[in-house]
Amino acid sequence: MKEISIDDVIKNIRLKTTPAGIKLIREAYNLAQKAHDGQKRKSGEDYIQHPLHTALNLAKIGLGIKTIIGGILHDVPEDTQVSLKEIEEKFGSEISSLVDGVTKLGRIRLRGSQEEIHLENLRKMFLAMAEDIRVVLIKLADRLHNMETLDAVPKEKQERISQETMEIFAPIANRLGMGEVKCQLEDLAFKYLDEKNYAYVLKISQEEQEERKQYIDEMIAELKKKLEKEGIKTLEIYGRSKHLFSLFQKLQKHDMDISKIYDLAGIRIIVSEVVNCYEALGVVHKKYRPLVGRIKDYISLPKPNGYQSIHTTIFGEKGKFLEIQIRTQKMNDEAEFGIAAHWIYSQQKRSLRDFFFRKPTQVLPKELSWTKQLRDWQKELGKNSKEFMESLKIDFFKNRIFAFTPKGDIIDLPEEATPIDFAYKVHSEIGNRAIGAKVDKKIVPLNYKIKNGEVVEIITSREHKNPSRDWIRFVRTSEAKSHIRKFMKREGMI
């Protein structure tokens, strides 16, 4: 990889900074450079390049001064003679806490089998996330650079790190709404986990690349002209190619037939306001015929991780299919950088300190509320790492769906969740008193698998609490299982 300097990090910082903040970053760099002096990576480059690239990744996704400094210093206590106490004395307890959190995630302290050690490490990671998301953001930035330089390590280690990246780190990035980071991690891991299919997908994605680029450029020019004529101001229009692992997943669904993939490449239109998104969609459909069933409005119905955009597939020039995505700049930043983008747009409303170090009585920001659930599960499960990991497999890594209450409130659930999961998500008493359910006004069994966008109504009993032992067999969320077990234990049923 190209060598970078601290100046490259500084010029990529997206949040507003002060001279004092920049000075602090340079001081952190000077300390790290001195501490890592003489150390080399497996690739042969100076070790300081790794923390610099980690910090650069953090700067690009919109993190602030303290998180970037945490990235610069994240390997210092572990790999050098400089202690965590010295970091605290020089940079304060908040930064030293971030560095300590990242250090702990990388350590294996427990005795026992490899599986137990692995599960314990994962548990620590999620607990750290629940305490301070910035620790995990630094870890994601660290992992991204490690994956970019994975060629230098032995094959066995490449496969182990890639598997962990695919199963753990990419889903975390996805859950945080960091689509670009998630896709980069998946593509890098895919390269080492499935070399044959990676090479095949790379080959077909590169075929006719020049012709495809020329076609996209012509379509962009035509769209710009049309939008301008209709008085719709665009901030940016650009072409985009499908990420390799995402393309592979689509190919698998279509018998590896590339002709059935409509969004191999596409165009993204960035506008100023939400209303302009719908105006631009009207112009696109006036000019080009849309493909029926391929219009998705994630602005009025956002994905559970906060993703917003309008997607439409059209019959473009020369009869070719083309996907168009339309969104505001804010939506685009949030789609690529997820939770980090919230800080850029909320900076004037609240400081980073307010965001993370709120008083217990303050409301947890909506985009972080699910992290409290992780802490609650951990308290209930104690030291049982295996059970904790099973919870995460179901609730955290599963694809998410959203269903609605009759009043229109959105309930975020894992795929295959049932009305009982829904009920306990709304309130424990509703779950305990559930006797039936309606989905889109039709009676369904309690083990019915809810689909994305459905309206769920729970029928309850006023007189009795009704949790059944049978419910444990079909509910999908740890929250529901926990409440059912608590009820049965209290009633002497177990």
Can 79 be counted among the known catalytic residues?
yes
Cα distance between residue 291 and residue 322, in whole Å: 10
3-state secondary structure of 435: strand
The DSSP-derived string for 223-256 is: HHHHHHHTT--EEEEEEEE--HHHHHHHHHHTTT
Amino acid at 328: T
Q: Who's near 368: CB < 8 A, 6+ residues apart? A: 133, 339
Beta carbons of 34 and 48 less than 8 angstroms apart: no
Beta carbons of 32 and 55 less than 8 angstroms apart: no
CA angle 192, 167, 114 (to 5 degrees): 90
Query: Per the structure block, which two tokens stand in for 439?
Result: 């989905």
The residue annotated as part of the active site, out of 79, 131, 376, 416, is 79
Dihedral of CA atoms 149, 151, 153, 155 in degrees, nearest 10, equals: 140
C-alpha dist (Å) from residue 295 to 70, 173, 291, 324? 42, 26, 8, 10
Q: Where are the beta strands (DSSP E) in 191-334?
A: 234-241, 265-271, 296-297, 310-315, 321-328
Number of Cβ atoms within 10 Å of the Cβ of 116: 13
The upper half-sphere exposure of residue 375, i.e. CA atoms within 13 Å in the direction of its Cβ, equals 11
Q: Which of 18, 28, 20 is nearest to 90 (CA)?
A: 28
Pairing of the two strands 321-328 and 400-404: unpaired
Beta carbons of 220 and 237 less than 8 angstroms apart: yes
Cα distance between residue 162 and residue 164, in whole Å: 5
The residue annotated as part of the active site, out of 3, 37, 78, 273, is 78
* Terminal-residue alpha carbon distance, the chain: 58
The secondary structure of residue 177, as a DSSP letter, is: T
How far is Cα of residue 18 from the mean position of the Cα atoms in its chain?
Answer: 29
b/e per residue, 203-221, with b = 16+ CB within 10 A? Answer: ebbeeeeeebeebbeebbe
Can 454 be counted among the known catalytic residues?
no
Catalytic machinery residues: 78-79
